[in-house]
Amino acid sequence: LWEKCSVPEAIDKETFQKSFIRHVNTTLARSIYNVDNFSAYQATAHAVRDRLIQRWNETQQIHTERDQKRVYYLSLEFLLGRSLDNALLNLGLKDAFGEGVKELGFKMEDILGQEVDAALGNGGLGRLAACYMDSLATLCYPAWGYGVRYTYGIFQQKIVDGYQDEFPDYWLNFDNPWELPRVDIVVDVKFGGHVNKITEGDTVRHEWVGGETVQAVAYDVPIPGYGVKNCINIRLWSSKPRRKFDLGKFNAGEYDQAVQEQMKAEFLTAVLYPNDNHMVGKELRLKQQYFWVAASLYDMWVEVRRFKKSQRDWNEFPDQVAIQLNDTHPTLAIVELQRILVDEERLGWDEAWEIVTNTFAFTNHTVLPEAMEKWPVPTMSQLLPRHIQIIFDLNLFFLQKVEKFAPGDRDFLARLSIIEESTPQYVRMAHLAIVGSHRVNGVAKLHSKLIKETIFKDFVRFYGPDKFENKTNGITPRRWLHQANPKLSELISETLGHKDWLKDLSLLKKLEESVNDKEFRRRWIAVKHSNKVRLADYIRDVMDIDVNPNALFDVQVKRIHEYKRQFMNILGVIHHYNNIKSMSPEKMRNVVPRVVIFGGKAAPGYYIAKLVIKLINSVASVVNKDTNIQDLLKVIFIPDYNVSVAEIIVPASDISQHISTAGTEASGTSNMKFVLNGGLILGTVDGANIEIHEEIGDDNIFMFGHLAEQVEDLRYAHRYRDVTMDPHLNAVIKDIESGSFGEARIFAPLINTLTFGKDYYLISDDFGSYLDAQKLVEEAYKNEKDWAKKSILCTANMGKFSSDRAIKEYAESIWGTVPVEV
Ligand code: 26V
């Protein structure tokens, strides 16, 4: 009976319509006369979800049967965005379902527009995790993601009087069809308490007792592969109290205290910390980290016990399990596994440590000093008394080895130590992650080189270079071309005669052969134009501003941060504006009309970044209403930049800016998205820009600015010598200070970063070459034919930057996992 009833549902139009109507009637409890776009979205989502669950089940079954090595990707952030369109495309249902909803009186586009983003991440790091899950599913690796189910994702940004204002992102307000609550999968996680030392003969063991317990409840998010049956899982943990409320207190009339414990426990996973590339030492954040790590390891343990039953030796554990640490946020997992093996499984310390280090691998995503995670020892001792003991023991044994390696070199010892010897002491999470992993990797060639030469230099000396690798980031072409840019995807498939490129992006290379085909170029340009119209419509809808889709669209969208230099961009805009204003009407005719588009969130506590937003909006309000410049320039700050907004912006860009101070942007991944969509880039010699340049060639990219190896000297010069400022920059600053863009005093702290702040991000050093590069962009854009060729060659040469390539590299050289196809 079971087999008879569990036949997978067909994916044709009629079956879909039946399923849609059934969900309207039963899941939503509505009549078919009472279905708005949102209900239609819900019904469609549930119809898709049914099919996802079937695949999910089959995949998990196969993985259990085959018993191959698994990889667990631990990430505090998964920036998934919307799921419906992605699931329809990956499952191959879009056409049938699109027809189906049309006949029912809906437009697929309207339905898709109803979904709210799953915004459980800040920026690049979280979106990378999402792209990697897509590739793991598509390539059929037995993989799981583990994360946190935040009640509030990254805040919503509104612009009020030019300033950023933050609002809570209550994304779970309505039912979320993309998660499966597993109310039966509950893990107790403990905090606080104390450690008993128990001596049994000549062995000593430790017992962690007392403290408070919070429960972790599992919510599973199915991630379907493209063009395969495989569907993998991200398990997100949500906190809840062990007891609902204190009946004793309730009966004693202390009603507010009766629910306090409950509220405190639920608060643990309430909110995503909104900092990107900046460490904040909040105790709640550390609690989140341990909560998530402990629940995830316990969950893996269920698998491990299955492993133990099969009577294999413990030291085979790393042959069964690989755990990838997405930055240092899950580093406590290293300590937790050592604790389980030693305290609970009673393995010897060294044997346990061998297993631990062979299991973990660590990815570093930043070299910025302010982003390095470190936690005060007193805080950790209080929350995790046994873990801090283990950390000190690990450090002791580690430093003994270091001492043997470099006898008497106390500075070397102090630099390598997991503990920073300040008052109070701190635990350096990156050091712990390196010591506890068998591999450490950076995320682009330059970044991986820099970590070996700077922040992890001493570790390279101690371990030798082989422990350190590069894994250049990648993006999924399914979401970032096929889904976001359907017209270009269609043109490419038609030209190549297949869709295989979606699973092997290097096949795009063949597009090069069409670069001299005039008709192909015409269609290529037409697609770009229609994407620009789509963005112009969006800008009109949300901002009530008209922009000209024939203008050059010049885009910078990413988190607002000083190192990313949105400030330099807007200073350049002011320069350009003043330039146009000084022109005669004849000269103006030579200027390419330009729409400069910004987007991105600033961390709520990041004062300078928020001032940059204010400056951009102040410049916009002056420029956009200046009728003397004949619409040659518009400045737009698109509010609330997120994944689904990116899907509209990326395909519409002519030129995008990736202009971080050399050596500061670990990789960048939006650069890859823009180029894949035939947008050119203007960039510094930094992060993945360098490798994109290598792949697409000199003629198709605009690079400028000082090199990473010059940065130290330049900063030194700013600190100790009188540096004369670039004259163009000087003029722009004078203009701001004269009040051209509103009250000058507002912007004084921002301008001070260039003067009193010693221009740490070297804007004055790069400003001249930046303006020169912008001039080259403008000249190149005037030649439509050549620009189209560049655009095509960009897309054609982006094969390397598929997340499929990246994941294969991880699987082959770090995890040792092989695909298992359903
Ligand atoms: C994240 C967080 C999250 C909230 C609390 C405090 C905190 C502190 C540090 C970090 C690390 C963020 C590092 C990061 O996002 N790096 C970005 O990673 C991308 C994917 O590898 C890469 O493309 C970007 O260049 C890099 O900035």
- CB-ligand 1 contact for 125 (6 Å cutoff): yes
Please report the pLDDT score of residue 242 as a whole number.
87
pTM score > 0.95 for this model?
Answer: yes
Mean pLDDT of 809-816: 98
The answer to whether the bond into 593 is cis (omega within 30° of 0) is: no
Edge to edge, the sheet with strand 360-363 lists 180-191, 212-224, 231-241, 143-148, 70-74, 321-326, 360-363, 439-442, 468-470
Ligand 1 center–CA 495 separation, angstroms:
38
- CB-ligand 1 contact for 279 (6 Å cutoff): yes
Cα distances (angstroms) measured from residue 759 to each of 403, 567, 767: 40, 12, 12
Mean pLDDT of 766-779: 98
Question: What pLDDT digit, counting tens, does each position of 311-357 carry?
Answer: 778 888 999 999 999 999 999 999 999 999 999 999 999 999 999 99
- CB-ligand 1 contact for 122 (6 Å cutoff): yes
Please report the pLDDT score of residue 278 as a whole number.
80
- CB-ligand 1 contact for 328 (6 Å cutoff): no
Ligand 1 center–CA 371 separation, angstroms:
8
- CB-ligand 1 contact for 668 (6 Å cutoff): yes
Name which of 687, 720, 717, 722 is nearest 705 in CA terms: 687
Mean pLDDT of 73-80: 98
User: Is residue 247's pLDDT more than 80?
Assistant: no
Ligand 1 center–CA 541 separation, angstroms:
32
In the chain, the percentage of residues whose pLDDT exceeds 70 is 99
Question: What pLDDT digit, counting tens, does each position of 147-176 carry?
Answer: 999 999 999 999 999 999 999 999 998 889
Please report the pLDDT score of residue 281 as a whole number.
83
Mean pLDDT of 285-295: 98
- CB-ligand 1 contact for 372 (6 Å cutoff): no
**Which residues, in sequence order, are CB contacts of 628 under 8 Å at separation 6+?**
581
The answer to whether 474 and 131 are in contact (CB under 8 A) is yes
Please report the pLDDT score of residue 5 as a whole number.
73
Name which of 81, 209, 63, 215 is nearest 137 in CA terms: 63
- CB-ligand 1 contact for 364 (6 Å cutoff): no
- CB-ligand 1 contact for 572 (6 Å cutoff): no
Ligand 1 center–CA 660 separation, angstroms:
14
The domains located in the chain, with CATH, are: 331-471 (no CATH), 550-794 (3.40.50.2000)
Ligand 1 center–CA 518 separation, angstroms:
43
CA–CA distance, 44 with 83 (Å, rounded to integer)? 12
- Which is the closest atom of ligand 1 to the Cα of 273? 4
- CB-ligand 1 contact for 368 (6 Å cutoff): no
- Which is the closest atom of ligand 1 to the Cα of 665? 25
Residue nearest to atom 4 of ligand 1 (CA): 275
Question: What pLDDT digit, counting tens, does each position of 485-529 carry?
Answer: 999 999 999 999 999 999 999 999 999 999 999 999 999 999 999
Please report the pLDDT score of residue 305 as a whole number.
74
Cα distances (angstroms) measured from residue 817 to each of 142, 208, 316, 763, 810: 8, 35, 14, 45, 9
User: Is residue 8's pLDDT more than 80?
Assistant: no
- Which is the closest atom of ligand 1 to the Cα of 687? 25
Question: What pLDDT digit, counting tens, does each position of 200-235 carry?
Answer: 998 999 999 999 999 999 999 999 999 999 999 999
- CB-ligand 1 contact for 670 (6 Å cutoff): no
E strand or H helix that includes residue 441: strand 439-442
The answer to whether 206 and 799 are in contact (CB under 8 A) is no
- CB-ligand 1 contact for 273 (6 Å cutoff): yes
Phi-psi region of 172 (alpha: psi -120 to 50; beta: other; left: phi over 0): alpha
- Which is the closest atom of ligand 1 to the Cα of 128? 20
- CB-ligand 1 contact for 640 (6 Å cutoff): no
Q: Is 406 exposed, middle or buried (0-12, 13-18, 19+ CB in 10 A)?
A: middle
* Lowest model confidence (mean pLDDT) among 22-36, 275-289, 585-599, 677-691: 275-289
Ligand 1 center–CA 365 separation, angstroms:
6
Q: Which residues of 158-195 are buried (b: 16+ CB within 10 A; e: fewer)?
A: ebeebebebeebebbeeebbbbbeeeebebebbbebeb
Ligand 1 center–CA 366 separation, angstroms:
6
Question: What pLDDT digit, counting tens, does each position of 170-195 carry?
Answer: 999 888 999 999 999 999 999 999 99
CA–CA distance, 591 with 598 (Å, rounded to integer)? 21
Ligand 1 center–CA 441 separation, angstroms:
14
Long-range contacts of the stretch 204-207 (C-beta < 8 A, 24+): 205/343, 205/346, 206/342, 206/343, 206/386, 206/389, 207/343
| Residues with catalytic roles | 365, 558-559, 564, 669, 673
Mean pLDDT of 739-752: 98
Please report the pLDDT score of residue 599 as a whole number.
98
Ligand 1 center–CA 666 separation, angstroms:
9
Mean pLDDT of 259-283: 87
Residue nearest to atom 18 of ligand 1 (CA): 125
- CB-ligand 1 contact for 367 (6 Å cutoff): no
- CB-ligand 1 contact for 77 (6 Å cutoff): no
- Which is the closest atom of ligand 1 to the Cα of 123? 15
CA–CA distance, 306 with 309 (Å, rounded to integer)? 5
Write a three-state SS string for 651-688: HHCCEEEECCCCCCCCCCCHHHHHHHCCCEEEEECCCC
Residue nearest to atom 16 of ligand 1 (CA): 365
**Mean confidence (pLDDT) of the chain:** 96
User: Is residue 257's pLDDT more than 90?
Assistant: no
- Ligand 1 site-directed mutation target among 128, 285, 366, 563, most atoms within 8 Å of CB: 366
- CB-ligand 1 contact for 275 (6 Å cutoff): yes
Provide the 8-state DSSP code for 192. Answer: S
- Ligand 1 site-directed mutation target among 79, 120, 125, 278, most atoms within 8 Å of CB: 125
Please report the pLDDT score of residue 724 as a whole number.
87
Mean pLDDT of 123-130: 98
- CB-ligand 1 contact for 366 (6 Å cutoff): yes
Ligand 1 center–CA 89 separation, angstroms:
29
Ligand 1 center–CA 531 separation, angstroms:
30
Residue nearest to atom 15 of ligand 1 (CA): 125
User: Both tokens of residue 36?
Assistant: 């708005």
The answer to whether 81 and 647 are in contact (CB under 8 A) is yes
Ligand 1 center–CA 383 separation, angstroms:
25
Under the banding of pLDDT at 50, 70 and 90, the label for residue 244 is low
- Ligand 1 site-directed mutation target among 127, 327, 671, most atoms within 8 Å of CB: 327
Residue nearest to atom 6 of ligand 1 (CA): 279
Ligand 1 center–CA 479 separation, angstroms:
21
Please report the pLDDT score of residue 4 as a whole number.
78
- CB-ligand 1 contact for 666 (6 Å cutoff): yes
The answer to whether 677 and 481 are in contact (CB under 8 A) is yes
CA–CA distance, 819 with 815 (Å, rounded to integer)? 12
Mean pLDDT of 36-63: 96
CA–CA distance, 694 with 174 (Å, rounded to integer)? 46
- Sole residue written with tokens 């034919």: 785
Under the banding of pLDDT at 50, 70 and 90, the label for residue 269 is very high
Ligand 1 center–CA 443 separation, angstroms:
11
- CB-ligand 1 contact for 330 (6 Å cutoff): no
User: Is residue 7's pLDDT more than 70?
Assistant: no
Helices (H), 310-428: 317-320, 332-339, 349-359, 377-383, 385-405, 410-416
- CB-ligand 1 contact for 686 (6 Å cutoff): no
Q: Is 156 helix (H, G, I), strand (E, B) or coil?
A: strand
- Ligand 1 site-directed mutation target among 131, 155, 272, 277, most atoms within 8 Å of CB: 277
Under the banding of pLDDT at 50, 70 and 90, the label for residue 245 is low
User: Is residue 10's pLDDT more than 80?
Assistant: no
Helices (H), 406-441: 410-416, 429-435
- CA dihedral of 243, 249, 251, 254, whole degrees rounded to 10: -130
Question: What pLDDT digit, counting tens, does each position of 391-410 carry?
Answer: 999 999 999 999 999 999 99
Please report the pLDDT score of residue 662 as a whole number.
98
Please report the pLDDT score of residue 807 as a whole number.
98
ipTM of the complex: 0.94
- Ligand 1 site-directed mutation target among 278, 365, 472, most atoms within 8 Å of CB: 365
